[in-house]
Amino acid sequence: MEKYKRTLDMKEKVLFLFMIIAIFLAMFVPVYQASQMRALETQLVVAEAKLVSINEQTKEIEANLSAKLTFNNSSNNFNKVNFNDAKVVSIR
């Protein structure tokens, strides 16, 4: 029996290399997309946590400001009212 040895010509070598690269890309692209998606989800969770924190701080500042303004306005109004000169009005 004769054994035939055949070498690959340049066209077949290029085709083989292209197929290897295509297979590598076909396996790599989904993994890359999944990692990017996970990174974006992590960033979204962090951003949402910061947003909740900022909203809580805003509400706390608004409540403190409202309480101080209410206290200041009520104490100033009581000081301005002269109860000695008040008149009693009755309607029949």
pLDDT at 2: 66
Locate the domains of the chain by residue range.
Answer: 31-70
Please give the full DSSP string across 16-44, using - where no structure is assigned.
Answer: HHHHHHHHHHHHHHHHHHHHHHHHHHHHH
pLDDT at 5: 78
Q: What are phi and psi of 90, to 5 degrees?
A: -125, 140
pLDDT at 77: 54
pLDDT at 62: 86
Mean pLDDT, consecutive 10-residue stretches, the chain (92 aa), reads 78 95 96 97 96 92 82 58 60 68
- Is 51 in a helix, a strand, or coil? helix
pLDDT at 66: 83
Give 3-state DSSP helix, strand, coil % of the chain, rounded to 5: 80, 0, 20
Q: Which two tokens stand for residue 11?
A: 């066209």
pLDDT at 7: 84
